[in-house]
Amino acid sequence: KLNTLKDTFLQDFLIGAALSNTQITGADKNAINLLEKEFNSITPENDMKWEQIHPEKDSFYFEIADKYVALGQQENMHIVGHTLVWHSQLAPWVQNIKDSSELANTIETHINKIVGRYKGKITTWDVVNEALNEDGTPRESQFYKVMGGENYIEHAFKLAAKADPNAKLVYNDYNLWKPEKRAGVIRLVKQLQESGVKLDGVGMQAHWSLEGPSIEDIENSIIAYSNLGVKVSFTELDVTVLPNPWDLNGAAVEQSYEQYEGDPKMNPYPEKLTDSAQVKLAKRYEDIFKLFLKHKDKIERVTFWGVNDGQSWLNGWPIKGRTNHPLLFDRENKAKQAYQNVLALK
């Protein structure tokens, strides 16, 4: 019987993890050892985002990104670039641009420089991230507003394809299981395809919880995206076990998460996960991977948003200072019950 994630699913899909800055720079050897053993794809959690890699108009910061790519090459991994055009974690100088052609040129320089530098090394690019609202309409980001519509998306994809014709190009977003947002993705993908843009995949971020989304909603999206002729990837999988300050439809109670900081009701597992929660998490991951296996012909990659629970952004978001347990490996890099359940599916 096979006993690692990557070997278990070798014929099905890639198994990835997002790497933190500490992991990339080598300060966290244990996580890297686990990575080598269990995973065959990597994504940089923060170090290739615009504010990091292109903080000023005329300065690029490639030191960490270079290390990240070198690590992936050394380990012979599928290397993901994350992310070229995104409204969040954007450099302030880009946020200040008011002129449409200046912003178009800025995107061009950004993509040519970064995709060009890692040509033939980065296997897959998240070209555009989170361009849609929850109802499927275009998000009115800096790019949308200044360039006067969704044309910045086509612009970005065309530039990426030109800078590295062999890279796989992905549109990435969250809550893509939602029927209304799904309709928005379908509209966008068709629009890009009609204008001759190379688009290889849709990335479903997959920041989920024990309660939702339903397997049925996820399945409907996998099928709908695959029907457009693109591959589906789960690019940022984690399953929060903590109470969320919004309802399942994402109708955000987004005002002041600060009010929950330090509230013990919002942090029920400050030391370790209880046995019953451990079992619930395991069952949830089992259901999710059962679905992935059912549609393995449509799925390219399943990437966890972190190697272990200690690294997870969900310890600090949306409420600071909590102890979350959303991944397959705990804070000691030990496999959890969820890991056993997932491997047992094969």
Residues that bind ligand XIL (CB under 6 A): 45-46, 129, 205, 236, 313
* Contact yes or no for 26/52 (Cβ under 8 A): no
CB of 205 to ligand XIL, least distance (A): 6
* Contact yes or no for 102/69 (Cβ under 8 A): no
Closest by CA position to 342, among listed 38, 41, 39, 8: 8
* Active-site option among 38, 45, 150, 236: 236
CB of 297 to ligand XIL, least distance (A): 26
In sequence order, which residues have a C-beta less than 8 Å from that of residue 292 and are 6 or more positions away? 12, 13, 234, 299, 302
36 classed as catalytic: no
CB of 45 to ligand XIL, least distance (A): 5
For ligand XIL, the closer of residues 205 and 278 by Cβ is 205
CB of 87 to ligand XIL, least distance (A): 11
* Distance of alpha carbon 50 from alpha carbon 231, whole angstroms: 26
For ligand XIL, the closer of residues 4 and 173 by Cβ is 173
* Distance of alpha carbon 65 from alpha carbon 67, whole angstroms: 5
14-19 vs 207-209, strand pairing mode = unpaired
CB of 229 to ligand XIL, least distance (A): 24
* Contact yes or no for 34/329 (Cβ under 8 A): yes
For ligand XIL, the closer of residues 28 and 45 by Cβ is 45
For ligand XIL, the closer of residues 50 and 118 by Cβ is 50
For ligand XIL, the closer of residues 126 and 164 by Cβ is 126
For ligand XIL, the closer of residues 154 and 236 by Cβ is 236
Closest by CA position to 303, among listed 42, 23, 11: 42
In sequence order, which residues have a C-beta less than 8 Å from that of residue 265 and are 6 or more positions away? 243
- Which residue lies nearest ligand XIL, judged by its C-beta? 313
* Residue type (1 letter), 208: W
What are 4's two structure tokens?
């690692």
In sequence order, which residues have a C-beta less than 8 Å from that of residue 12 and are 6 or more positions away? 292, 293, 296, 299
- Give catalytic residues, as residue numbers: 236
